[in-house]
């Protein structure tokens, strides 16, 4: 059931009895039975997830499960011109800012420790390559000597009244390295 006039297009949302104005300046989508403006906090997160979907970082199944989208809901999204335009704009912004590439690299990098472990434990691979794999794994795990950066300090300040204050500064200590499986530190 649709109602049209010269200025707006409204569509009934099946099962909710709601009518959604699809020509608002920002656009809306229906998620879990609720109308959400694309410029709201939830709408922006949904648009980002749609961008990740178009970039291949989130599968159709994952996005549909996250937002509990039925087949009808999914098809309805494909016809939402505001959503499509907003997703295209956000995708272009992510590409130009490098955010898309960084996210993709982080997802690919998550697979690197498994590959490095296979290199490290394969007796057929030359020792030099196995040692390099161990160094890279140590770096990725954050257990190497070059991973200790500057430490934050914490300041506790208690106002005791008037001009009297109690101030104590703490600097966290560097944690001791964990022993490896073979007993070496």
In this structure, are residues 12 and 33 in contact, taking their beta carbons and an 8 Å threshold?
Answer: no
- Nearest CA to 35 among 21, 50, 49? 21
Q: What is the pLDDT of residue 151?
A: 62
In this structure, are residues 57 and 104 in contact, taking their beta carbons and an 8 Å threshold?
Answer: yes
> Please, what is the end-to-end C-alpha distance for the chain in angstroms?
71
Could you tell me the pTM of the whole model?
0.56
Domain ranges of the chain: 2-106, 112-170
Would you place residue 176 in the very low, low, confident or very high pLDDT band (cuts 50, 70, 90)? low
DSSP annotation of 3 reads: E
> What is the pLDDT averaged over residues 96-112?
89
Query: What are the C-alpha distances in Å from 152 to residues 160, 169, 173, 178?
Result: 26, 11, 10, 22
Query: What are the C-alpha distances in Å from 178 to residues 62, 138, 184?
Result: 37, 12, 9
Would you place residue 3 in the very low, low, confident or very high pLDDT band (cuts 50, 70, 90)? very low
pLDDT tens-place string over residues 132-152: 888 888 887 775 555 455 567
pLDDT tens-place string over residues 29-63: 888 888 889 989 999 999 999 999 999 999 999 99
Would you place residue 73 in the very low, low, confident or very high pLDDT band (cuts 50, 70, 90)? confident
Q: What is the pLDDT of residue 44?
A: 92
């Amino acid at each position: 059931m649709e109602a049209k006039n010269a200025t707006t297009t409204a569509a009934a949302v099946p099962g909710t009895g709601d009518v959604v104005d699809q020509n608002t300046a920002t656009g809306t989508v229906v998620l879990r039975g609720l109308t959400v403006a694309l410029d709201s906090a939830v709408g922006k997160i949904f648009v980002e997830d749609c961008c990740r979907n178009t970039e291949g970082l989130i599968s159709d199944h994952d996005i549909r499960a996250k937002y509990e989208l039925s087949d009808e809901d999914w098809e309805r999204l494909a016809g939402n011109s505001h959503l499509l335009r907003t997703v295209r704009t956000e995708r272009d912004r992510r590409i130009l800012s490098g955010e898309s590439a960084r996210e993709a690299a982080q997802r690919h990098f998550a697979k690197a420790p498994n590959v490095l472990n296979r290199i490290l434990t394969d007796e057929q691979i030359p020792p030099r390559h196995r040692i390099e794999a161990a160094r890279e794994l140590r770096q990725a795990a954050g257990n190497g000597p070059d991973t200790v950066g500057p430490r934050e300090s914490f300041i506790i300040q208690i106002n005791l009244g008037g001009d009297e204050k109690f101030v104590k500064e703490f600097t966290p200590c560097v944690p001791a390295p964990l022993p490896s499986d073979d007993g070496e530190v």
